[in-house]
Chain A
């Protein structure tokens, strides 16, 4: 494979910058006690963190790689597998070898080095396996790792597990490359990489247009009989099932069945909590799993991305078919539909997840209060990300701040969740006052970002000279 072909598999420059920053921060934190002489500990601190660092790197670079390989398949291009292997090797050099060599400069103990290398190897391989698996199975490696972390603590186990993950990834790709399959079986990395491709810029609908000075003869004037109210269910049908509430998608009976099913599961879990002794596995992991409700933030953005990129006809119908909201109200109507659809899912999960958490913890009032606020913020963030996607390629600063906002939300939620559930924080001393202050600052920053993004997007679309 020549350099030009390899360049197609390379990640964007921002991925390198982000990774370098992460690496610098965690290398500094790892080496600081060692260099300052405060610690003679020869073990690598935070192996789990290093697993995550390597996984993040593979995650960043792997999407582009998987998407490119996946798109090479229908073109019947030769040597896809060997291109992939070389690309994985190249990324492993940066993701695994580079940090190990950097730490080596400070001549740490052999055990520290091997622990570091094992953690990086595992993280890198698990991430690669996740990206290689078909979408419906992609969550399995992360679940196995999170729920069974106690079994992965030793470096030797991490090396073996990483190697097995890599082998499985190789098998996955052999399967992917053997023949063309429906999209649902596409590698997760290709799916994620495709999502990040930007849609063409849609029309900003919230703008005011200049008045029309009369209509030509024979034209139907705006005084013609036009439905004053549009049908929200029709809009939902045009948008597709992913945008629909359970009632819109499956009818009243289907909606009741789904709610009954969830209620039954919740009741079952609550009963289980009464009779089953406290599970031995992973309390922390249960708490982390709970905040995976955040995945719905991305879900709403993905719905809009797909509408703009892959469902062009539907998007056109939204603008041109009669009976749908007029353009000035279309954006608001679509966002309301997203609010209803994502809100229903958030509500279901917000009711279901505490039933899982109570298997490991006795829930308290403060946690319940936090949980309600958390779910509301997830909903707000989801709709806001969908709104940003609706406006096509967002400005880079807005995107960057949106990413930082989500990262901050994740960190705050994780620490608060663990703290409230365990009544102590694994990240150091916390207090109600400091936590509340943190959340107030965060919420202030979030609202400021909402406002800034809205102002900037409106400014951009208002100044474009359309019809003017």
Chain B
């Protein structure tokens, strides 16, 4: 990744804020996505993942802050930029009156780099017949068509908003494989939001956790696995009010004591009570600890 990080980020979000009425959904979100990375954006329901993705693509107006895609504000993207962008919305509805072939044919005409073979292969893999009208497809099938539409132009930047939410496990694996293939073959940068932690672990190179309107964690997946640990702190010893070195979160446990997430905890051993226990941390546990 060293070579990649030297390049300017494809997506840059600075202090982005979004309110719905009096409810603050995004509160000063800052994020940079380097070329070639596969970023998994996780967060609880209603955390603002879709809002963040829509704001950074300019589909939704932000109330504060700024977003840059390909180095420019999204509303200034020209056709050349649009040809390098693929997007799968969370609810892929529309074009009801068209068949799959008609819709993909219309879209293919807009992209000089449209990969017809890839589209045909995915249609075949997912058993989608081109003469079927979109209005007759199930939500999962519509999502598959939307994914094909987004992948076939072989974009430089692929943004997927919960692409696997309506897919069956087989279709989900196919999607993940295609994402990895795109990233490896073309160096495509991928940003996808999801609840499914196992998907993240399979394909993501980086993870960003959105919680309370802010990015609580943004790091390479390997770094997270290597450097983050869960510390169980016994109830018998008072927990200092000031955060421990490398502390990311703390949570009281029902059975007594505390659960803390620490970065580089191994370096700080000896500063804790003798009963404290340090455990490795699965990604799902990390999500629960940080978003609980």
Using a CB–CB distance below 8 Å, which chain A residues touch chain B? 200-205, 207, 209-210, 212, 214-222, 224-227, 234, 237, 240-241, 310-317, 319-323, 326-328, 461, 464-468
Cα-based distance from A203 to B78 in the complex (angstroms): 16
Q: Please tell me which stretch of B105-113, B201-209, B245-253 contacts chain A, meaning at least 4 of its Cβ atoms lie within 8 angstroms of it.
A: B105-113
Q: Contacting A465 at CB < 8 Å: which of B64, B78, B91, B107?
A: B64
Q: Is B212 an interface residue (CB 8 A)?
A: no
B60 touches A467 (CB 8 A): no
Q: Contacting A220 at CB < 8 Å: which of B7, B8, B80, B94?
A: B80
Q: Contacting A312 at CB < 8 Å: which of B62, B84, B92, B111?
A: B92
Known: A201-B61, A241-B97. A218 touches B82 (CB 8 A): no
A203 touches B61 (CB 8 A): yes
Using a CB–CB distance below 8 Å, which chain B residues touch chain A? 7-8, 35, 57-67, 70-73, 75-85, 87, 89, 91-97, 106-107, 109-111, 146
Q: Which residues of B contact A320 (CB under 8 A)?
A: 57, 59, 77, 82, 85, 87
Task: Output the least CB separation between A208 and chain B (Å).
Answer: 9
Cα-based distance from A467 to B87 in the complex (angstroms): 21
B59 touches A316 (CB 8 A): yes
B71 touches A311 (CB 8 A): no
For residue B107, which residue of chain A has the nearest CB? A321
B67 touches A467 (CB 8 A): yes
A212 touches B97 (CB 8 A): no
Q: Contacting A323 at CB < 8 Å: which of B62, B73, B76, B110?
A: B110
Cα-based distance from A458 to B96 in the complex (angstroms): 33
Q: Which residues of B contact A311 (CB under 8 A)?
A: 93-96
Some 7 contacts from A to B, beta carbons below 8 A apart, are: A202-B60, A203-B58, A216-B71, A224-B80, A226-B80, A234-B110, A320-B57
Task: Output the least CB separation between A212 and chain B (Å).
Answer: 4
Q: Contacting A209 at CB < 8 Å: which of B70, B76, B146?
A: B76
For residue A321, which residue of chain B has the nearest CB? B110
B71 touches A322 (CB 8 A): no
For residue A222, which residue of chain B has the nearest CB? B78
Q: Which residues of B contact A323 (CB under 8 A)?
A: 79, 109-110
Q: Which residues of A contact B89 (CB under 8 A)?
A: 312-313, 316
Task: Output the least CB separation between A236 and chain B (Å).
Answer: 12
Q: Contacting B106 at CB < 8 Å: which of A209, A216, A218, A237?
A: A237
Cα-based distance from A304 to B110 in the complex (angstroms): 24
Q: Which residues of B contact A200 (CB under 8 A)?
A: 60
Q: Which residues of B contact A317 (CB under 8 A)?
A: 94, 107
A313 touches B94 (CB 8 A): yes
For residue B83, which residue of chain A has the nearest CB? A322
Q: Which residues of A contact B111 (CB under 8 A)?
A: 322
B82 touches A212 (CB 8 A): no
Cα-based distance from A301 to B91 in the complex (angstroms): 22
For residue B55, which residue of chain A has the nearest CB? A466
Q: Which residues of A contact B71 (CB under 8 A)?
A: 212, 214-216, 219
Q: Which residues of B contact A217 (CB under 8 A)?
A: 7-8
Known: A216-B8, A312-B91. A326 touches B97 (CB 8 A): no
For residue A327, which residue of chain B has the nearest CB? B75
Q: Contacting A461 at CB < 8 Å: which of B61, B79, B83?
A: B61
Identify the 8 closest CB pairs spanning chains A and B, nearest first: A216-B8, A313-B94, A311-B94, A314-B94, A220-B80, A224-B80, A322-B79, A322-B82
